[in-house]
Structure 1
Amino acid sequence: MPFMTAMPDVLEHVEQVQALQADQPYVLIVWNDPVNLMSYVSYVFRSYFGYSEAKADELMMQVHQQGRSVVSTGTREKIEADVAAMHGFGLWATLSKADAA
């Protein structure tokens, strides 16, 4: 009985899909919490991400009013580091694929 393998065009398609998924950016989501002051959240955004006071305040207000804000975008590894940093500052943060945010 002959050994069957996947057709080259199918393998090429699978490789293209995997490459697209690997290139897909991730986002850092910071969530509202009942503990941290708004001024502190803005300070964290300025000090860690280097945002201007206006940008940090805008993101902080999204967190406060909408319950969450996408604060950073990048590779999974970068966003995982950002999540760990936000946890170190005492903020609630998660990561998600960019299209799912």
Structure 2
Amino acid sequence: MPATRPWESEDLETDILDEQPWSLIVWNDEVNSFDWVIETLVEVCGHSYEQAEQCALLIHHRGKYAVKNGSYDDLEPQCTAITDRGIGATIEAAVRS
């Protein structure tokens, strides 16, 4: 029987989800500009400009997007900082696919 690679393990997704069970969701609106959302994601979440730009496009087209995963305690201050800037954000339990 061939050895199983770690990334082929059925338990890998569960292990990752257990470590990072929460998602920071940013919501689309008709008020905030792309530039403001991008700047916020760079400054608050530590995204690169390119990553923040891609997230902003996904937020716009999907209505919301999980911009970061992690523990609730790590995401809560970032969620607060985003909402303090007038952008809708919530923390939700990560969804298993």
Gaps of 5+ in 1: 1-21
TM-score (norm 2): 0.74
Q: Find 2:91's aligned residue among 82, 89, 95.
A: 95
Tell me the distance in 2 between the aligned counterparts of 1:46 and 1:93: 15
What residue is the counterpart of 2:57 in the other structure?
A: 61
Gaps of 5+ in 2: 1-17
Q: Deviations over 1:35-86 (max 9, x none)?
A: 1001110111111122111101000001111111101111111222221111
Q: Quick check: 1:30–1:93 contact (8 Å CA) kept in 2?
A: yes
Q: Deviations over 1:17-50 (max 9, x none)?
A: xxxxx75610100000111001110111111122
The farther-off stretch of 80-89 and 56-65 is 80-89
> Which 4+ stretches in 1 moved above 2 angstroms?
none
Structure label with greater radius of gyration = 1
What residue is the counterpart of 1:70 in the other structure?
A: 66
Q: CA RMSD in A?
A: 2.1
Against the structure 1 CA distance between its residues 65 and 40, is the aligned structure 2 distance closer, same or farther, given a 3 Å change threshold? same
What residue is the counterpart of 2:11 in the other structure?
A: none
Equivalent pairs counted in the alignment come to: 81
TM-score (norm 1): 0.71
Shift in Å, 1:100: 6.5
Q: Quick check: 1:59–1:71 contact (8 Å CA) kept in 2?
A: yes
Tell me the distance in 2 between the aligned counterparts of 1:29 and 1:42: 14
